[in-house]
Structure 1
Amino acid sequence: MLPSLLFASALVASTRAAPAYPKFDAASSAPDDIRALSDYFNLLASKVHDSRILDVAPVCDLSQVPQPAGAADLPSPSAGLSLRHIAIGRGTQNYTCDGATPDAAPQAAGAVAMLFNASCLVATSADLAAALTRAALRFDVAQSRAAGERLVPSDLPLSGLHFFADATTALFKLDVSPAVQLGELPCGKNASVPAPPADAAASRGLQGEPPVPWLKLTAKPGATGGLQEVFRFQTVGGSPPATCRGMPEEFQVDYAAQ
């Protein structure tokens, strides 16, 4: 139900000890950081206010969740599949550089992310979920671990992990939380499109870098739980610099995505 999600930031103390959320130092933060957090908390306050006058709480129905605007250039989900889970991922895109070729572009070397259960949040308030994805980039992944593996600055619980099993196989483990036991999905990239311009303008990373592309990934052998496809939308940050000049041999760029 809606209160368990939209009210979580305000009412978490009523169900358990409040997470130790980190302090946000506005004086040392960039304007984009402040704007992303302000957008999220202002929208959250508006949603809480609106929910007080609803006759019926919104229903968490994933069958009614559309793909976001801007996803039209990606292939659609395959026929016969249904949406099972939506997560907000927070982690790093990883890259390598060859010091002998400083003008070459960095090479992708996989990614690592914690996945947080945003299924009902997106189903009931897609705009708030998008604002949370942008705000989450402004907090370090370690701070979510310190908050009891709940996504800072919200209260969304951990539902999975994402990393690369090998150079071309992205692995999504949706069986690490007792509350979410959907299986594992090793997959490869099926299609990629740049983040839509309207989203890209509001979704730059911590150093002003563009958001990584939106993706469709499809299952490789070894998938369990009937999982078949993954879409990456609403990306925030994560892109490397244009060249390796001045970069170490290995480096990470923070990102968030749905």
Structure 2
Amino acid sequence: MLFTQASFVLALATSAVAAAPIEKRWGGWGSWANHGGRPWWTPSASASYLEFGKRFPGADSNAPTCDLSQAVMPAAPTPLPAPASGLTLSHVAIGRGTQNYTCDLTNATAVPTATGAKATLFNVSCIAADTPDLLAKLPSIALDLPIPSSDDESSPAYQDMSGHHYFLDATTPFFNMDTTLHQYGTGRFKKSNGSNAPSDALLGTNNQGFGSVQWLKLDAKDSAGQVLQEVYRLNTAGGQPPKTCQGMPAAFEVQYSSEYWIWAQ
């Protein structure tokens, strides 16, 4: 299914967010149209990873100038540990995809077992820095939009893609931020800490479902071998399975969305 930019812009237009800060971020609707109708601008291929992440672009970059050091992560209901000393917030993305589960159909009392997740990541770094109130709404908005077609290079959504998130095995989340558009790095991670989502978090698509997955802090599995060091999954929307496997298939997916805050050396 195609996550069209038109549908996303329409959703934003109907959200309760004032337009003025967005126009400042994008340079106004005229400027938005002149850049292919893409509110999530990306830098040129020659812009470096840190130039992109910190949003102090070089002369050859079309990325907007904003100070990502001003972005503040939302606080989890049960506080998560702060980023390690010396790390820099390098990227903020909205992830849209599925949480994946299995059920043991031979066991009448079985409960769903998490087997990982997969999501496409979209750049919202400057929104995090400039309009945090808007950012907080995006996971819920994204959850009610179709899952994007990340393989279609002609899709408007592809131009704003930061990368992909998936699992290498049951306990190793992987972030691949290298695409044909840019090379921001890759990383293998492990769960470090978690916090249950707020009690009023979205239940699922159209607010129908079983709740939102935990907020997480992930640490690099090999901190010496990768630029990306820590990832926070925050403001989750959806993704929880039913409490039992009754009536469920052997394998199933639950749609979700969330913010991903990526810290680097």
- TM-score under structure 2 length normalisation: 0.72
Query: C-alpha distance in 1, partners of 2:128/2:76?
Result: 16
Structure 2 partner of 1:183: 185
Q: Where does structure 1 differ by over 3 angstroms across 4 or more consecutive aligned residues? A: 19-24, 36-40, 42-45, 48-52, 142-151, 222-225
Structure 1 partner of 2:198: 196
Structure 2 partner of 1:47: 19
- How big is the alpha-carbon RMSD for the aligned residues of Structure 1 and Structure 2? 3.1
The question of whether the paired residues in 2 share the 8 Å contact of 1:39 and 1:131 is answered with: no
Structure 2 partner of 1:234: 235
Whichever structure has more strand as a proportion of its residues is 2
Unaligned 5+ segments in structure 1 are 1-18, 25-35, 53-57
The aligned length equals: 218
Aligned residue identity for 2:18 = S
Structure 2 partner of 1:118: 124
Structure 2 partner of 1:212: 213
Aligned residue identity for 1:82 = T
Distance 1:215 1:156, change over 3 A: farther
Distance 1:117 1:149, change over 3 A: farther
Which of the residues 165, 168, 172 maps onto 2:168? 165
Query: C-alpha distance in 2, partners of 1:174/1:224?
Result: 15
Deviation at 1:39, TM superposition (A): 7.3
The question of whether the paired residues in 2 share the 8 Å contact of 1:195 and 1:211 is answered with: yes
Secondary structure at the aligned position of 2:79 is classed as coil
Query: C-alpha distance in 2, partners of 1:20/1:112?
Result: 16
Query: C-alpha distance in 1, partners of 2:104/2:139?
Result: 32
Which of the residues 132, 136, 142 maps onto 2:142? 136
Which of the residues 77, 97, 111 maps onto 1:91? 97
Alignment identity in percent? Answer: 42
Secondary structure at the aligned position of 1:197 is classed as coil
Cα distance per residue 1:123-143 (max 9 Å; x no partner): 111121221221111122145
Unaligned 5+ segments in structure 2 are 25-63, 260-265
Cα distance per residue 1:8-60 (max 9 Å; x no partner): xxxxxxxxxxx983997xxxxxxxxxxx99874234762247747xxxxx952
Distance 1:22 1:176, change over 3 A: closer
Secondary structure at the aligned position of 1:83 is classed as strand
- TM-score under structure 1 length normalisation: 0.74
Deviation at 1:115, TM superposition (A): 0.5
Query: C-alpha distance in 2, partners of 1:114/1:150?
Result: 14
Distance 1:101 1:119, change over 3 A: same
Whichever structure has more helix as a proportion of its residues is 1
The question of whether the paired residues in 1 share the 8 Å contact of 2:93 and 2:125 is answered with: yes
Deviation at 1:101, TM superposition (A): 1.9
Deviation at 1:156, TM superposition (A): 7.2
Query: C-alpha distance in 2, partners of 1:88/1:96?
Result: 25
